[in-house]
Amino acid sequence: MNDQLNREEREILEKFNEGELHPITDVEGEMTTARQAARSALKVPNAETRRAMAESEEMMRQGTARFASAEELFAEFERADDQ
């Protein structure tokens, strides 16, 4: 077995020895907390947004889109705000 630690392993060991890291005793509870955090971070577009996205994709396919890129769209918004 290799007794040499890489940089990341040394940092983890140092943090543990300094009391910054603690062993997990309730693994299942930690997993539940992590799953809940992941679910709350996941944002799914609502039906109206999905329809708008489909409409814009169709406009791009047909070549009738007003903007060729998101940058052009945002630039137009900025110009409108300045007026």
The pTM for the full model equals 0.38
What single DSSP character describes residue 2? -
Report pLDDT for 1.
47
pLDDT(75) > 70: yes
pLDDT(61) > 60: yes
State which amino acid sits at residue 54.
Answer: A
Report pLDDT for 69.
83
pLDDT(2) > 90: no
Q: How far is CA 20 from CA 13, 14, 36, 59, 69, in A?
A: 10, 9, 24, 53, 46
pLDDT tens, residue by residue, 18-60 = 999 888 889 999 999 999 888 888 778 889 999 998 998 898 8
> How many Å apart are CA 53 and CA 45, to the nearest integer?
9
